[in-house]
Amino acid sequence: MTGLRRFKKYMLKTFLAGGLAAAAFTVWYADRMIPDHFSIVEDQVEAFRFPGLIDSTLFSESEEVALGNGSDIPAEEIRITRDQTFTMYASDKGSYQLNLKLFGIFPLKNIQVDVVDTQYAVPCGLPVGIYLKSDGVMVIGTGEVAGPDGSSSEPSLGILQSGDYILAAGGVPLESKEDLIRAVEASSGREMVLSVRRQDQEFDVKVTPARDSGGSCKLGVWVRDDTQGIGTMTYVDTNGRFGALGHGISDTDTGRLVQIQDGSLYETAIMGIEKGSAGKPGVMSGVIYYGPGSSLGSIAANTEEGVFGAVDARFADQLEAEPLEIGYKQDVREGPAVIRSSVSGTPKDYAIEIERVDYSAGKTGKSMVIRVTDPELLALTGGIVQGMSGSPIIQDGRLIGAVTHVFIQDSSRGYGIFIEHMLENCQ
């Protein structure tokens, strides 16, 4: 009997430990792998699956959102078990709340559901020249000023930092780095008050310029007030608003996202492609045509999810591709898809495989892992090259995402972002 009791006690402990481990995994899974937010189309049944969940219950706080798990009868709550598909339906647009509970008791997660109209956008895959005007004069770094007598000083050391934006000098707003140069020279070496933005804070600092060997006044800073480059336009929606790149433009020296005042899109021509190889991503090089006649649109925002703005009517009228329905994250599946790119000179669809879909990536631009399988694209570029960021991803006739990054060690593979994360910046 003693041995039997020990065995029963051992089995009970094992069962409890296994149950606790499963519950702990479910809590982690709900927090990391189930999105905080879903968008569904009004009057359309959407299917979902959360394969990592054990016995859980999903509750709808609103009668406008009906849930189902195989039954034809909609309900306000459903039980979800591992690998079970469930459905969601809503008849009225708006934002609603769902509650996910372990065993129907312990809260796991609140999920926001936005019910929207069916949306359409033209997937472009076109190369564009991007010009950004920074919101203030960006500080790249500080350094020494060599004086007339051969001595050196660092007037901005410990006062200004890399990544700061100088907004005004002596209360006068700055529109360009030339404005800053003129203000420093006008100080005649007297102490200046500079208005600075650092991260999300704005404050004033005092700096006394030093005279260089030529007698000019200097702050001892390297600055920049604009940036430019070539990228791929992802889409143009039905209102003429565009999204491009799928990731933000960061300063090459500071590595920080450029805070912009405004910007412009310009025509560009691809001049050459350097194929990628292991450890060395390829690059698409080209020429940007500046000037009023080459303008394609205006840029309003540079965000972590891409560059956004509005295209000119002339450019919108020249788009030849047909609008596609927007696919949301729940529509994305592992399997075949295509990307649209103009690396050959004209927009063309190339075969890819979506290897992994990651809800936990949030808006980081790493929502899915893709692999180029198209022999023509592999022969032309080796896979994904710099400049292809923003190439639209199409699956099952829907626009679902955009290419964002290439894997350094394998240029045939890379990351993509869900298109809905880009569209949120266009509203």
Average pLDDT, the chain: 87
Are 233 and 256 in the same domain?
Answer: yes
Token pair 């050959």 is found at 344
Residue 33 pLDDT more than 90? no
b/e sequence 274-284, b meaning 16+ C-beta within 10 Å: ebbeeeebbbb
The total number of structural domains that make up the chain: 3
Are 287 and 384 in the same domain?
Answer: yes
Q: What share of the chain is helix, strand, coil (3-state, %, to 5)?
A: 15, 50, 35
- Return the pLDDT at 239: 93
Q: Is residue 176 part of a domain?
A: yes
Higher pLDDT, 264 or 28: 264
pLDDT-derived band at 25 (thresholds 50, 70, 90) equals: low
Distances 105 to 17, 37, 55, 243, 309 between C-alpha atoms, Å: 20, 22, 11, 42, 46
Exposure on the CB side of residue 264, measured as CA atoms within 13 A: 13
Distances 251 to 65, 117, 140, 178, 224 between C-alpha atoms, Å: 44, 37, 9, 19, 9
CATH of the domain at 267: 2.40.10
Contact (CB, 8 A) for 285 and 159? no
Least confident interval from 46-50, 257-261, 343-347: 46-50
Are 341 and 409 in the same domain?
Answer: yes
Higher pLDDT, 20 or 35: 35
Are 45 and 181 in the same domain?
Answer: no
DSSP state of 66: E
pTM for the model stands at: 0.86
DSSP state of 327: P
Write down which residue in 219, 240, 273 finishes a domain.
219
Q: Is residue 369 part of a domain?
A: yes
CA–CA dist 24, 75 (Å, integer): 28
Residue 224 pLDDT more than 90? yes
Residue 420 pLDDT more than 90? yes
Residue 378 pLDDT more than 60? yes
Distances 227 to 106, 130, 249, 331 between C-alpha atoms, Å: 51, 8, 9, 36
Residue 24, both tokens: 């702990």
- Return the pLDDT at 167: 97
Are 207 and 278 in the same domain?
Answer: no
Q: What is the pLDDT of residues 386-397, one digit of tens each?
A: 999 999 999 999
Q: What is the pLDDT of residues 171-180, one digit of tens each?
A: 999 999 999 9
pLDDT-derived band at 325 (thresholds 50, 70, 90) equals: very high
Left, alpha or beta for 292 (phi > 0: left; psi -120 to 50: alpha)?
A: alpha
Are 351 and 401 in the same domain?
Answer: yes
Q: Is residue 341 part of a domain?
A: yes
CA–CA dist 22, 28 (Å, integer): 10
Domain that holds residue 27: 13-116
Contact (CB, 8 A) for 184 and 223? no
Are 295 and 315 in the same domain?
Answer: yes
- Return the pLDDT at 54: 63
Q: What is the pLDDT of residues 120-158, one digit of tens each?
A: 999 999 999 999 999 999 999 999 999 888 889 999 999
- The stretch 10-25 carries a mean pLDDT of 56
The 3-state DSSP class for residue 4 equals: helix
Q: Is residue 140 part of a domain?
A: no
Q: Provide the percentage of residues in the chain whose pLDDT is more than 90.
A: 58
- The stretch 330-356 carries a mean pLDDT of 95
